[in-house]
Structure formats: C-alpha cells, structure tokens
A and B are shown apart, each in its own frame.
Chain A
C-alpha cells in the first residue's frame, strides 16, 4: 500500500569551499495519515534539514518527498511549518497573524464571515482567545508559540511540520504546550512530523520516534514504535514501566551507540 507521506531515499549536499558537504544520506521514511512522528538526534545531525526538505524550503539532491502520491518540491500551505522561534510578524496582532495565513490559503474558498470564524476557532483551539488583539511583543514565549501553532493549524495542512517547537521555552511552559498539543491532536488527528532533542517529549507525544545518526551523511538509525495508550498523562506515565522502557531505548541510542564524539 502506498503510504501517505513518503520520504524516499533523500540525500542532500551543500556546496562548500572544500567541495560538496553531504548532510543527509538516503533518508527513507514512510508516515501514515494521522501519525505523530518525532525525529530525534544530536544537534547538527541534520534533523532540521529533513524537515526543511519535506517543507520544500530545501531541495533534495537525490530522492524526493511524495505526499499523497504527488512529489513536493516547493513550500506550500499543505505542509505548514511551526518554527522554533514562533516567527510571528511582530507588527501584526495575534489575530492578524493567523488572518494573513487564512486569507492567503482560503482566498475564494471561504467567505469573509467563514474566515473570521475559522481564525477565531483556531485561536480558541490553542486557548488564546483572551489575547487575540495583542501584539507578539506583549505575549510570553509560550503564548507566541501557541499562536504560531494556531497559524499553522489554520492552514489545514496535510502534514504539520514542527521544528523544535518548544525548544526555546522553559520546562513548565513546555509541558503545558505539550499537553495542549496532545489535546488538539486527539481532536484533529493531524499527520505531524516534529523535530525535537527532548527524549521525554518524543516519547510522550509520538506514535513513532525516528532516531538519526550523527552527521555528516546522517541517516535514520532506528525507528521506535511507541505503543502507549492514548490519551496519555504525564503523571501516570512517570512511573510506567513501558514508558520508561521507550525512554531508555532512545537514551541508549543517543548516548551509547551514537554518542557525539565532540561535544
């Protein structure tokens, strides 16, 4: 059966002064519809590069990305991206930041009123209705990222790409946002590809954890299926045997088999 999203033998080389640098070598990954996949690896291993190729921001040197039977090689709203640093337009309010996305994606498909409802619905989804008229500078880091997520969700993407979405947040805020994300995911059942370097985050959120080897010429080392019941609660899972098993699997991969030689 053909998979929903197929990352097919993707390699990428970047030209440098000392000849081409091979960042990724034959990355091969199939993702089913509604699956939540995390990509984990040491920093610099090229996990963000994988995401940028799926997002269409980079072009693979070899291989390609196939989404629902069609090759994608340019950016588009069907693969919405949540950036690490929220990337909200600082001169627009929270509402307007979502609006600019909705207006360009649903131009001619939704009426003005429908658009307004859709924007407000997505802001409500991330619990930000109370601050929708504030500028990003007036929002906390977690709130900004919530709006970033609302903007991406509002594009109704086929695949939601998240590039270390909670990496810049403190631990408590991060936990709040992870819970919100699980809640939203339970509702919408999106296909999500998330880049992370946080082991707990990966185990808690994912159906599948893709572990990457170190670069150069990084590729997929192992894929771990996380078969924990949903909904998941971090408190119950803290002492769960299975959860801790998955956790230690990832830690062993990262710190034993593929430990970074130079820190």
Chain B
C-alpha cells in the first residue's frame, strides 16, 4: 500500500510528499524529517522571502492606478474573483428557476403555447475564462501534435524528406504568434463562414495560432528521436522483414517516445504562452482577454486582478507541464531516466 502510494507520487512528480508518507508510517523519523526540511522547508523559505520582497518592493511604486499591489491586495482580488464566480452562478440558477416557473405557467394556461428556453447570457466569470483558455490551448495543441508527430516520424526516417522540410521548419519556427495572428484572423474570417458556427471565430483564430507556434518543437524532437534510433534495432526489423507500418509502430515509435514527449512538453509550454498573447488580440474570452480588459478598464483594482491572472497563468502552466511529465514517465520504457 505504502509502496504503491510512493510509486504513484514519484510518477506524478509530487516527490515532496514521499517523506511525509514515510513519516506517517513510521520509517526512520529522523531521516524523514531531514528530507522534509530539504524538500519542503527550503522551497517554502524561498517562497516567503519572495513574498516579502514583493510586499516591500510594491509599496514603493506608485502608478496612475495607485500603488502597485502587494501579495495581500492580490490575495484579496483573488477572493473577490472567486466570490463573483459563485454570485454569478447563483444568478444563473435563479434565472433558470424563474424561466421554468414562467414557462410552466404559460403551459398551464394554454397547453399549445410556444415556450422558449433562453440560455443565460450573464457575463463570464474568472473560472469560465480559465476553462476557455485551457480548452483553446488543448485544441490547438492537439491539432499541432496530430500534424507534427507523423511528419516528424516520416521525416526522421527519410533523410531526403528531412532535408526538404528542414529549411521550412527553421524559417517558420522563430515566428512570433503576434505575426501569425493577423494572417490567421483574416484567413479564418474568409474561410470559416457558416450560418450557425459551432465555434466562435476568436476561438478558432486563437487555437490555430497556438497550433502554428507549438508545431515545431514536437516536429523537430520527433524527427531527431526517430533518426537517432539504434541502427541495429532497425536491422533487427529488416531481418524479420517487418513491413513499414509494423516497423514504425513496433520499433520506431516505442524507441522515440522519450524524445517525442520532450517535444510535446516544450510545445505545450510554448502553446500556453502563445495563447495568452493570441487571446488578447483575438478577443477570445479567456485569460488573455481578461488581462486585456482589466488593462483597458484601468480601475484601482485592475493591477491586482492582472496579477491574479499572471499567477494563475504561471500555476496552470506549471500544472500542464506536470501532466505531460507524468504522461512521459508513464509511456516511457525507461522509468529510471531522470526527467526534469
């Protein structure tokens, strides 16, 4: 039981809790306490010093929107945002209750009356915006991976194809999302025309921009991983006369999984960074738009709210990376490899 929990924590990267688990089960308390101080104590200390410096430093800068908010003010804004979310949700529930009652009355009077179920059109809460951002980056990232991994595998296997694609990759890789965005916006508005669109244009524009920027690390890492497979392993496949498809699925992909995941992790990190910029400009209702709206709003609360968003972006980015790391460890054959 204990070993299972520890194993799982190791897999997910929550190694800080391991000494705690061992302590609870009574394994050499002294050693565990030392580990605890090292793994939790020191990072905590660094965090406290950071908050202190922030608090002192922020108090010294006065802007047009008032003082730069310190940790306390940011915490307050965070709680307000959370409260607003619950208030908004309550409003929504009440709206639907009222609507249901109204409709029921109508039907009671005249069973043939036309009843309309209107959706609630209240404003998006902070959590809605976070979900929008996560969903957008997920869609963009998945599209990028679906394109990048197969191309990476094929071009890693063929030198000719790799030298054909390499200049294109090198040219497109360093392009900023802000440069892509106007092109994507205009192309999307020209091509994506429908009476009843399933997705809003701003969503598609943001997702495609994420795709365009997060393709490259996966593509390059996959190609490098595939082309650096041990020749002898490929030769084993040739001796067995495996077909191209079998070689790819049984030999090429398993042996380049670690590199593919390294690429995916970098891609997701870049995708998340790009998304915020894309949302600001494309007005996709996510965290990027939230930051932009607060900036335009310019009230005394704005700076604090932007900082809440900044921290949220950081924490979510960290969590996304952890998810990828866990998946990498799970799918990789070499469980002992040190992956950071």
Complex formed: what's the CA distance from A76 to B239 in Å?
4
Q: Which of B235, B236, B242, B254 contacts A91 (CB 8 A)?
A: B254
Complex formed: what's the CA distance from A161 to B239 in Å?
11
The CB with the most chain B CB atoms within 10 A, among A57, A83, A91, is that of A91
Tell me, yes or no, whether A14 is within 8 Å of chain B by CB. no
Tell me, yes or no, whether A41 is within 8 Å of chain B by CB. no
A85/B235 contact (C-beta < 8 A), A76-B241, A90-B255, A100-B250 known: no
Tell me, yes or no, whether A239 is within 8 Å of chain B by CB. no
Tell me, yes or no, whether B38 is within 8 Å of chain A by CB. no
Query: Are A77 and B240 touching (Cβ within 8 A)?
Result: yes
Closest partner residue, chain B, to A101 (CB atom): B240
Within 8 A of B (CB), among A78-93: 79-81, 83, 85, 87, 89-91
A89/B254 contact (C-beta < 8 A), A104-B241, A104-B242 known: yes
Minimum Cβ distance to chain B for residue A244 (Å): 36
Tell me, yes or no, whether B232 is within 8 Å of chain A by CB. yes
Query: Are A90 and B232 touching (Cβ within 8 A)?
Result: no
Main secondary structure of the interface of B (DSSP, over half): helix
Q: Which of B232, B240, B250, B333 contacts A105 (CB 8 A)?
A: B240
Complex formed: what's the CA distance from A135 to B236 in Å?
18
Tell me, yes or no, whether A55 is within 8 Å of chain B by CB. yes
Minimum Cβ distance to chain A for residue B136 (Å): 34
Query: Are B233 and A87 touching (Cβ within 8 A)?
Result: yes
Closest partner residue, chain B, to A157 (CB atom): B239
Which residues on the B side are within 8 Å of A85 (C-beta)?
Answer: 230, 232
Query: Are B255 and A91 touching (Cβ within 8 A)?
Result: yes
Which residues on the B side are within 8 Å of A184 (C-beta)?
Answer: none
Complex formed: what's the CA distance from A75 to B230 in Å?
17
Minimum Cβ distance to chain A for residue B159 (Å): 15
A75/B333 contact (C-beta < 8 A), A83-B232, A89-B255, A91-B255 known: no
Minimum Cβ distance to chain B for residue A126 (Å): 17
Which residues on the B side are within 8 Å of A74 (C-beta)?
Answer: 238
Query: Are A90 and B333 touching (Cβ within 8 A)?
Result: yes
Complex formed: what's the CA distance from A90 to B256 in Å?
11
Within 8 A of B (CB), among A46-86: 55-57, 74-77, 79-81, 83, 85
Query: Are B250 and A135 touching (Cβ within 8 A)?
Result: no
Which residues on the A side are within 8 Å of B233 (C-beta)?
Answer: 87, 89
Q: Which of A90, A100, A137 contacts B240 (CB 8 A)?
A: A100
Tell me, yes or no, whether B334 is within 8 Å of chain A by CB. yes
Closest partner residue, chain A, to B246 (CB atom): A104
- List 8 A-B pairs, Cβ < 8 Å: A55-B239, A76-B241, A79-B239, A80-B239, A89-B233, A89-B255, A91-B255, A137-B336
Beyond A76-B241, A90-B334, list 11 extra A-B contacts (CB 8 Å). A75-B238, A83-B232, A83-B236, A85-B232, A87-B232, A87-B235, A89-B254, A90-B255, A91-B257, A104-B241, A105-B240
A contact set with B: CB distance below 8 Å? 55-57, 74-77, 79-81, 83, 85, 87, 89-91, 100-101, 104-105, 135, 137, 155
> 3 closest Cβ contacts across the A-B interface?
A91-B333, A87-B232, A75-B238
